[in-house]
């Protein structure tokens, strides 16, 4: 069907001015989201911030040599894009499987898969973009004895520029 410039949705009263595209500055992400020991998640796109109905997106920063606790994200699918650093993923009922990813790589995590994120570098912060298939930040922290024990570390992010917990 040819596109005639019209669409089937009603144009809102503001003509899409405030209900259309939203730009979320990188220094205004919201850390008031579900967390897992060993990482810092910050929301950019969710229902509360922009009215997203079917997606959640944000960032994750993991300090050098740090390891998260075991967790899964319920029925949600997750995609991690590595911006910088080196990620080692462990997954499985006993976190027995492992793979690594670097800058430009994508990681897909299916629903209910127990996993652990690890910064494989001892010197560089692991920085990632995270996208989930719903607007809820579902995190189920698990009581699994991880192969690589989580560590308490200081996080370096836009809020904690010199490290913080």
Say which CATH number the domain at 108 has: 2.60.120.10
User: Exposure of 80 by Cβ count < 10 A (0-12 exposed, 13-18 middle, 19+ buried)?
Assistant: buried
84 in a domain, yes or no? yes
165 in a domain, yes or no? no
103 in a domain, yes or no? yes
pLDDT block averages, 10 residues each, the chain of length 165:
60 86 84 76 86 91 88 93 95 90 94 93 94 84 72 43 47
Q: Look up the domain containing 117 and give its range.
A: 41-141
Query: How many distinct helices (H) and strands (E) make up the chain?
Result: 1, 10
> How many structural domains comprise the chain?
1
Q: Report whether 90 contacts 118 (CB < 8 A).
A: yes
User: What pLDDT is recorded for position 120?
Assistant: 93
pTM of the model: 0.77
């Amino acid at each position: 069907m040819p596109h005639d410039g019209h669409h089937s949705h009603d144009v809102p009263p503001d003509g899409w001015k405030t209900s259309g595209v939203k730009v979320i500055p990188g220094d205004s992400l919201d850390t008031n989201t579900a967390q897992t020991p060993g990482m810092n998640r910050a929301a950019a796109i969710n229902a509360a911030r922009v009215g997203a109905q079917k997606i959640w997106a944000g960032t994750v920063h993991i300090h050098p040599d740090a390891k998260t606790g075991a967790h899964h994200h319920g029925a949600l699918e997750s995609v991690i894009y590595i911006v910088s650093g080196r990620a080692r993923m462990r997954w499985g009922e006993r976190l027995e499987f492992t793979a690594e990813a670097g800058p430009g790589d994508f990681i897909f995590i299916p629903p209910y898969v127990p996993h652990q994120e690890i910064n494989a570098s001892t010197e560089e912060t692991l920085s990632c973009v995270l996208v989930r298939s719903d607007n809820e930040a579902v995190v189920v922290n698990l009581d699994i004895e991880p192969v690589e024990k989580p560590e308490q570390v200081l996080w370096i992010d836009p809020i904690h520029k010199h490290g913080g917990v």
